[in-house]
Amino acid sequence: MTLEWEQVIVDAADPVALGRWWAEALGWVTVDEGTDEYEIRPAPDKLPGLLFVRVKDAKTVKNRLHLDFRPDDQRAEVERLLALGARHADVGQGEQTWVTLADPEGNEFCVLGARQG
């Protein structure tokens, strides 16, 4: 038996707005644009994707799953994401080499530093 990783589901109050934000942040394309579901992928035929789905409940606690990204230039990428509408997030991480941010709906993600060696 083989498993193919299709997508990560992200609960959202406004899946269209959040999906568009992540599409711009990642440079991905929209593959399904509904009012209750919005899917983006690196390319139309490339997986995995992110599927944003409408939920009634507001986010109230730290994510149990989050995404980590490793850019070429951490400082420039953090500044770019903040300009898009991300914000710094404190989840109790203390001083680290990575930067924890939150998307416009409060979902945490990390921007890692350069890979060592």
Contact 23, 63 (CB under 8 A): no
Domain check: are 42 and 74 in the same one? no
Q: What percent of the chain has pLDDT over 90?
A: 79
Assigned domain for 60 exists: no
Using a 10 angstrom Cβ sphere, with 0-12 exposed, 13-18 middle and 19 or more buried, the burial of residue 90 is exposed
pTM as predicted: 0.89
pLDDT tens, position by position, 93-110: 767 789 999 999 999 999
Candidates 113, 27, 105; CA nearest to 68 is 113
Range of the domain at 30: 1-55
| Residue 117 scores a pLDDT above 70 | no
Last residue of a domain, one of 10, 36, 55: 55
Total structural domains in the chain?
A: 2
Give the three-class secondary structure for 110.
strand
- The CATH number assigned to the domain holding 20 equals 3.10.180.10
Domain check: are 69 and 51 in the same one? no
Candidates 60, 12, 57; CA nearest to 35 is 12
CA dihedral (66, 59, 103, 38) in degrees, to 10, reads 90
Average pLDDT over residues 33-52: 96
Domain check: are 78 and 46 in the same one? no
Assigned domain for 79 exists: yes
Assigned domain for 16 exists: yes
CB atoms within 10 A of CB 23: 20
Domain check: are 72 and 49 in the same one? no
DSSP states along 27-96 = T-EEEEE-SSEEEEESBTTBS-EEEEEE-SSPP-S--SS-EEE--S-HHHHHHHHHHHT-EE--SS--S-
Last residue of a domain, one of 14, 34, 55: 55
Domain check: are 23 and 69 in the same one? no
